[in-house]
Amino acid sequence: MNSLKNYKGLYYAALILLLWGANLWYFLHYPVRFDDPLIYLGLLIQTHLYTGVFITAHDAIHGVVMPHRPKVNYGIGWLCATLFAFNNYNKLSSKHHLHHKHAASEQDPDYYAGNFFRWYLKFALEYVTVWQIVLMAITYNLLKLVFPMWNLILFWEVPAILSTLQLFYFGTYLPHRGEHDPSDKHKARSQGLNHWIAFFSCYFFGYHHEHHAYPYLPWWKLAEAKEKTESK
């Protein structure tokens, strides 16, 4: 049993990557008609799976995808960050640890004391690089030789953009905006206890205070941590 528990993070990572790849492959071949409701359902599913890919990279940053195999943990994190619009895993890791160390302060690269739109722009510019844009453009033009343009836009590009909004809104903006209890060193709040909403909104990262309090917990254990917080 301990052996299975040691590989649980790997199983979840593999499942998310498999579903992300399978859904993308299916809809890259699917005939696009804008009166077809399945198009929009597929786009939403792909957005959620993109978020899962990033969450897996995030868990690797905390070393919890495969804690006993650091090189494998790093490899999974690097792969997921790369699949998510060619993000630089090492840069993500460095800035995310600064976020935890200096949450909701001037030293926090994810924080901005302003309105939603300016904050999101600052958040995006903090991570997006010229090389990412170049690599995305090259990849798009290569993929366009094989797949229809609208399929690429709807199921490869748009879900990635929507996913950044999902991650920002539920995982950064809502938890860290506004004033915080001075005694709370994490400067993070959590959404109400509802596991269905928490999972589909952002893989339980709406339970954000719990994540900052217990950064060694993988995403699927944050629900249990929230239950313990509510029972106190």
Residue 163 lies in a domain: yes
Domain range enclosing 98: 2-170
Residue 55 lies in a domain: yes
pLDDT at 184 (0 to 100): 84
> What is the overall mean pLDDT for the chain?
94
Residue 66 lies in a domain: yes
Residue 112 lies in a domain: yes
Tens digit of each residue's pLDDT (9 = 90 or more) over 17-30: 999 999 999 999 99
pLDDT at 3 (0 to 100): 58
The backbone torsions φ and ψ at residue 7, rounded to the nearest 5 degrees and listed phi first, read -105, 10
Residue 203 lies in a domain: no
Whole-prediction pTM value?
Answer: 0.94
Do 12 and 56 meet the contact criterion of CB atoms below 8 Å apart? yes
Residue 192 lies in a domain: no
Among the listed residues 177, 176, 179, 174, the one whose alpha carbon sits nearest the alpha carbon of residue 192: 174
Residue 8 lies in a domain: yes
Residue 138 lies in a domain: yes
First-residue to last-residue Cα distance in the chain? 30
Among the listed residues 94, 121, 99, the one whose alpha carbon sits nearest the alpha carbon of residue 176: 99
Evaluate the CA torsion angle 96, 100, 105, 111 in order and state its sign: positive
Q: How many domains does the chain have?
A: 1
The angle that helices 70-83 and 8-28 make with each other, rounded to 10 degrees, is 20
- Rounded Cα distance, 99 and 103, in Å: 5
Do 204 and 223 meet the contact criterion of CB atoms below 8 Å apart? yes
Tens digit of each residue's pLDDT (9 = 90 or more) over 74-132: 999 999 999 999 999 999 999 999 999 999 988 999 999 889 999 999 998 888 889 99
Which helix or strand (DSSP H or E) is residue 47 part of?
A: helix 37-61
